Structures are given as structure tokens and as C-alpha cells.
A = this chain, B = another copy of it.
Amino acid sequence: MGSVETPRERVLVLYGSLSPEVEESIREMFADQELTIYQPKPGEVTPPELYRKATILATFSHLPKPEDAQNLKIIHSFSAGLDHLINNPLLKEGRIAITSSSGIHGPPIAEWTIMNWIIASRKHFQIYEAQKAHRWDDKDQYLRGNHDQAGKKVGILGYGSIGRQIGRVSQALGMSVYAFTASPRKTPESKKDNGYIVPGTGDADGSIPVSWHHGLDKASLHSFLSLGLDHLVISLPLTPQTTKFLGAEEFALLSASSTSKAAKPYITNISRGRVLDQDALIEALNTGHLSGAALDVTDPEPLPEDHPLWDTPNVQISPHLSGIGREYLPRSLDILRINLGRLARGEPLINAYGGKGY
């Protein structure tokens, strides 16, 4: 049916290295279109004739010269952010729509986040070490220290697609969710997530938070940190305004306002290392003002082998991989698949930069 009604686009997918299985699934997704998959080797320039032919380009960072982009209607980026693309001369004229992969990171990063919380609150690495040693620990040693998330409060700094999926799972765990955004979200319309949402996930209408807070000034942030939070999740974009947004003063405030008898507040950073003062974080963990931290990002990355953060008490570090997994590419291309349908029907594209769409 679709193949009769939908005009065939000439889709060029550029991706470094694909397993045969993923390549096959891409061919299935775009069976209605004329598809070219090209896997450039590191440093290789994609042959210009491939660009010239394409009407649709899916790419991380490879872009054609303007003279080779005459037929392009959409450039779909495999990245969530488009900063690395929007200053390209090709895109400045505004004729070609650019779409991002924003929205696909919610499930893996929310799972990474929740997993870290539970490992920490259950001391589960101890259990893992006991299994390696074939040791059946007496459960009484875990009885008083272990706790769970039901009834606890999570504050989410940056309530985008990732923050929303963390909010969704948190609510299911029995927690109260507090959202913090840079700009005010006072109307139902402004609370909505209008981007791509992985089916069955997220918070499309923004109904999960018990309250919304906003502002990038210290007073707004401090008011948010005084809510008595058990968890603080940092999923803000890194900008000049959010660099070292949290430091010694903020960690002290968070700690002092905590009312839980189970544990001091726990920090999760899935933004960028420099969004917080890392030395102040280490100090707050060493002194017990915070009960722990899950860090997918550090400053610098990779974290040097001799850095004190590795052995700071109750820190769980991952090498900036919370968003990855085998679903990454299929979900990103699902956005493009949806947009090809919208293009054919003359509807606005989703995830389009600057709202640009055909």
C-alpha cells in the first residue's frame, strides 16, 4: 500500500560500520525507498556522486559540498545535538531541512540511571563480589542499610526527553518527580514534548512532575535544591550558563535540606562533566554530605588512571556510554522513516531544526 502512494526518495545512509543484521533491518525499514548504504572508512571522503544522487541523507558528520547537495531535501543526523552541523554553509541557506536524533536516548539513559540508584541502595556490588567468591552472605548484614526508592523524591534538572523517561520510571517506582527547566513551562502546551518519543516511554504531556520549577539563576536553583530531594539528576545541556552550575554551596544545600532517614542525597550526572564542580563533588562525597554519585561523564574524559574520582567513596563511573546500545541506529532511522511519510504527505517534519519542515 505505502509503496504505491509514497514517492520513492533516494536515501543515502552513511555509517562507519554495520553488522549484517543491522544492515538488513535498515533495508527492511526503507524497502519502499531507493536506499544506498555506504560505510566510509575512517578518514575516507564519501564519493561525491553518492551525495549528488541523494534526496535524503542520514549521517553523523559527513556532509557534501554545497555543489553536490542540489537534490537534498533532508539531512538526518544520527546525533541528538545539531551544533556541529548548523554552521555548515550548506545548511545556512535554509533550503534543506535538518533533523536530529533527539528523543532516542531516553530508554537507555533512564535504565542506566535507575540501575545505578538500585545498585547503590542495595549495595549490590558487594553481592556481586560475594558471588565471585562463591559466598552466600547472611542477609542480616543488608537489612538495615538497604533501602528502596518508593516514597522518595527525585529532582530532574533539565526535563527533556531523557529527563522525562527518568521521571516516568521514577514515578512507577513510587517516587515523586520534580522538574526543573531553564525557561518557565506554565501552560499545558509548553509542558509538552513535541519531539520524537520512543513508543511506550517518556512523558509526552508533562503530567508526571508534581511541580515544575525554572530559572538558570542561583536563587531559582537554590530554591529547587531545598525541596528535600533524595535524588538529583543532572540532564541539562552544557552551556556557558550551566558550566559549574553545581558546586560546594549547592551540594551543601541539597544535603542540608534532605529529610530522609535512609540516606543523604544521591547525584546522577548524565550531562557533561563540567556542569558541576568536580572537586567540590569529591569533597561532598568524602565528607558524607552526599550518599553517592552515578557519573556517566567526567572532567576530563577519558578520566586519567591516577584521578582521585575513581576511588571516591560511593562513586559509580561509566565511560560516557549510558546512551549507547543496539537500538541506537534503528531508533534514529525510525525518526527518518516517520519523516519520509510526513514529507510525502506534506506535513511538518518532527525533530526539525528551527521548526523547518516541508
Residue numbers of A with Cβ under 8 A of B are 19, 21, 25, 107-108, 110-112, 114-115, 118-119, 121-122, 124-125, 127-128, 130-131, 134-139, 142-151, 168-169, 171-176, 198-201, 261-262, 301-303, 305-307, 310-311, 316-321, 324-328
- Report yes or no: A143 in contact with B328, Cβ–Cβ below 8 A: yes
Chain B neighbourhood of A301, CB < 8 A? 136
Chain B residue nearest to A109 (CB atoms) is B148
Give the complex CA separation of A124 and B146 in angstroms.
20
Copies in the complex: 2
- Report yes or no: B107 in contact with A149, Cβ–Cβ below 8 A: yes
- Report yes or no: B173 in contact with A310, Cβ–Cβ below 8 A: no
Complex A-B, nearest 9 residue pairs according to Cβ-Cβ distance, in ascending order: A136-B302, A172-B172, A174-B200, A139-B321, A146-B325, A115-B118, A107-B150, A174-B201, A134-B305
Give the complex CA separation of A212 and B321 in angstroms.
37
Smallest CB separation, A226 vs chain B (Å): 23
- Choice from B19, B131, B149 contacting A111 with Cβ under 8 Å: B149
Chain B residue nearest to A19 (CB atoms) is B144
Chain B neighbourhood of A147, CB < 8 A? 325-327
Smallest CB separation, A219 vs chain B (Å): 31
- Report yes or no: B118 in contact with A111, Cβ–Cβ below 8 A: yes
Give the complex CA separation of A241 and B121 in angstroms.
36
Chain B neighbourhood of A310, CB < 8 A? 131, 134
- Report yes or no: B172 in contact with A199, Cβ–Cβ below 8 A: no
